Amino acid sequence: MVDFIDIDHDRLETVASFTDPLQAHIARGRLEAEGVPAYVIHENHVWAAWFLSNALGGVKLQVVESDARRAREILAADREGEYAETLDLPEDEVAPPACPHCGAADSFARFSWQTLLLVIFSLGIVGVIFPPRRDLRQCRVCGTRWRPEPE
């Protein structure tokens, strides 16, 4: 958790500017993961009126003046891809589940007919479609359908 700053003694400095608030929050997360408290400024203005982003100078990422140099170094390292290795997962962790019948790893997710019925019902009654879960898998090799075990 980020501690609050004392405005009387700590001055904020803008270290980056983004057109999209989501990008600013991703960068803020990287800085906070490295121990640098960061603050996103003008986020709500851009969410409310996205076309004002350029007029405001974008969504700003600010840090305390004493952390500005370190924050810029971290953001530059992030842009150069130095943190990309931390995102790579071993292939066996992201492979789709194997077919219980033939053992093939070539399967796809599909909806059950009960889920589709619930989607149609929610659209008719509420007027809103709630995103359904794809709770079934089907093997592309042998056609077997199964429910994967919860993780």
Tens-place pLDDT, residues 16-50:
999 999 999 999 999 999 999 999 999 998 888 88
Q: What is the pTM of this model?
A: 0.54
Q: Do 34 and 80 share a domain, yes or no? A: yes
Residue finishing a domain among 59, 87, 115: 87
Tokens of 24: 């600013």
Residues 77 and 98 reside in one and the same domain: no
Residue 115 lies in a domain: yes
70 and 132 together in one domain: no
Cβ of 72: how many Cβ atoms within 10 Å? Answer: 14
pLDDT band at 3 (very low <50, low <70, confident <90, very high): low
Q: Are residues 67 and 105 in the same domain?
A: no
In which domain, by residue range, is 130 found?
91-146
Strand partners, 41: 60
- pLDDT confidence of residue 151: 62
Task: Please give the Cα distance from 68 to 16 (Å, whole number).
Answer: 10
Same domain, 100 and 137: yes
Residues 95 and 62 occupy one common structural domain:
no
pLDDT tens digits for range 93-123: 556 677 888 888 777 777 677 777 777 777 7
